Amino acid sequence: MENTVILAYSGGLDTSVAIRWLQETYGYNVITLTVDIGNEKDINAVANRAKVIGAQKAITVDAKQDFLKYFVWPALQANALYEGVKISFLFFTQIETFLFTSSRVLLCILLSMM
């Protein structure tokens, strides 16, 4: 898997452009990883978009239950604050980063075993 990079892919303009940029600028094979926490209606469309743009593989992970169990529910139980305000959508967009990171690390480990 030399010259391969795993791109955290949202399906938005910035990460879509990043696929081609990584290929053309650095010669990388790009594997995209999209972590589904329930905020995207059609996760398969996001994966297909990555493939059409040129991703070697487009992997999706259904992490809705993990996100609720390990991030949302504990934050609610702790009466968490974000910038002095009770939790809101903005807070959860910040804590989802930890779930996305752990998913990328796990994928790197799994791919290195192949």
CATH of residue 35: 3.40.50.620
- Domain around 22: 4-64+99-112
Residue 104: both structure tokens together:
């990328």
Within a 10 A sphere around the Cβ of 7, how many other Cβ atoms? 20
Domain presence at residue 83: no
16 within a domain of the structure (yes/no): yes
Residue 75 resides in a domain: no
Q: What is the DSSP letter of 78?
A: T
15 domain residue, yes or no: yes
Give the span between the Cα atoms of 16 and 4, in whole angstroms: 17
- Give 13-27 pLDDT, tens digit per residue: 999 999 999 999 999
Q: How many domains does the chain have?
A: 1
Residue 85 inside a domain? The answer is no
Instruction: Report how far apart, in Å, the C-alpha atoms of 114 and of each of 15, 35, 97, 109 are.
Output: 26, 21, 26, 9
0.85 surpassed by pTM = no
Residue 81 lies in a domain: no
- Is residue 91 domain-resident? no
pLDDT by residue (tens digit) across 21-67?
A: 999 999 999 999 898 888 777 899 999 999 999 999 999 988 888 88
In a domain, 27, yes or no: yes
